[in-house]
Amino acid sequence: MTEKLTKDIIIPTSRCDFDGLLGIPETFSLMMDLATEHAQSIDLGISSIGKKNLFWLAVRTRIHFFKRPRIEEKVTLSTWPEKPQRLRNNRSYLIEKDGERLVEGKTEWAILNTVTNKLVKGDEVYPEGLIFEPLSVFDDPFERVKDNFEEEERFASYTVRSTDIDLGGHMNNSAYPRALFSVFSTDERKAMNISGIDVRFVAPAYEGEELFIYRHQTENKTEYAMKKQDGTTVLLASVW
């Protein structure tokens, strides 16, 4: 049983940003696709666990960008699940070029029983005999962004489109960072010079809902929140 997936790809045009480099929101999508492919190979894909009334929920994602790969560049992708810890299940990701680490990421997942609406322990779901990689891609903890944004920190809004909706009927995880960065101009995004992003998916958003975007600056990071009209927070993020 394959405990780690490694494959070479050519960075496609559709994944690249205005600067000809792998886009930041697109990196979320690429990691999700990689996780889905590997999960399917170990009988934990959407169709397999769906038969057991289970569903994967992404809770947090943290990505470090050392050097975003360019369009048509050949790179090596790797992903592996880490040993489950109670109700949280971490998965590591790497994008490398000839041994050079370009991008590294980690996602924290939970497994939801769609009948009981309760979380299920990972060691009850992962197949017997699966050997977990002993190392994590990095030891940095996930960010703890405090949800204490003030009304005057609201600076933009975004209406959830039909193209943002996934199989679960709510906004796809990769659609949140795409929505967040869509409110900035290309010049503003260039000035950000982003080397890392950490997001926490707090609550689902649905088609037609208007999300208000808040931000405040810390000493070396910018923190963001996406909230519904009733004040419900759907996303907290830290960008540096």
Residue ranges of domains in the chain: 5-124, 151-239
- pLDDT tens for 10-35 read 999 999 999 999 999 999 999 999 99
The Cα–Cα gap between 57 and 120 comes to 11
Q: What count of Cα atoms within 13 Å lies in the side-chain half-sphere of residue 109?
A: 30
Q: Which of 54-58, 172-176, 231-235 has the lowest mean pLDDT?
A: 54-58
Q: What count of Cα atoms within 13 Å lies in the side-chain half-sphere of residue 234?
A: 24
Task: For residue 188, report the phi and psi dihedrals to the nearest 5 degrees.
Answer: -65, -40
CA quadruple 95, 98, 102, 105: dihedral, nearest 10: 30
Question: Is 151-239 the same fold as 5-124?
Answer: yes
* Model confidence band, residue 2 (pLDDT cutoffs 50, 70, 90): low
Under DSSP, the state recorded for 123 is G
Instruction: Compute the radius of gyration of the chain from its Cα atoms.
Output: 18
Instruction: Report the CATH superfamily, name and number, of domain 151-239.
Output: Hotdog Thioesterase (3.10.129.10)
- pLDDT tens for 34-64 read 999 999 999 888 888 888 999 898 999 999 9
% pLDDT > 90, the chain: 80
Q: 5-124 maps to which CATH number?
A: 3.10.129.10
Q: Which of 21-25, 121-125, 149-153 has the lowest mean pLDDT?
A: 121-125
Q: Mapping DSSP to helix (H, G, I), strand (E, B) and coil, where does residue 74 land?
A: strand
- pLDDT tens for 217-227 read 998 999 999 99
Q: What is the pLDDT of residue 1?
A: 56
The Cα–Cα gap between 19 and 144 comes to 31
* Mean pLDDT estimate for the chain: 94
Q: What is the pLDDT of residue 59?
A: 95
Q: What is the pLDDT of residue 34?
A: 96
- pLDDT tens for 178-219 read 999 999 999 999 999 999 999 999 999 999 999 999 999 998
Instruction: Specify whether the CB–CB gap between 93 and 101 falls below 8 A.
Output: no
DSSP labels, 145-181: ------GGGEEEEEEPPGGGB-TTSSB-TTHHHHHHH
Query: Could you give the C-alpha distances from 183 to 95, 129, 179, 205, 209, in angstroms and in order?
Result: 27, 46, 7, 18, 16
- pLDDT tens for 56-91 read 989 999 999 999 999 999 999 999 999 988 888 999
Q: What is the pLDDT of residue 84?
A: 87
pLDDT score of 168 more than 90? no
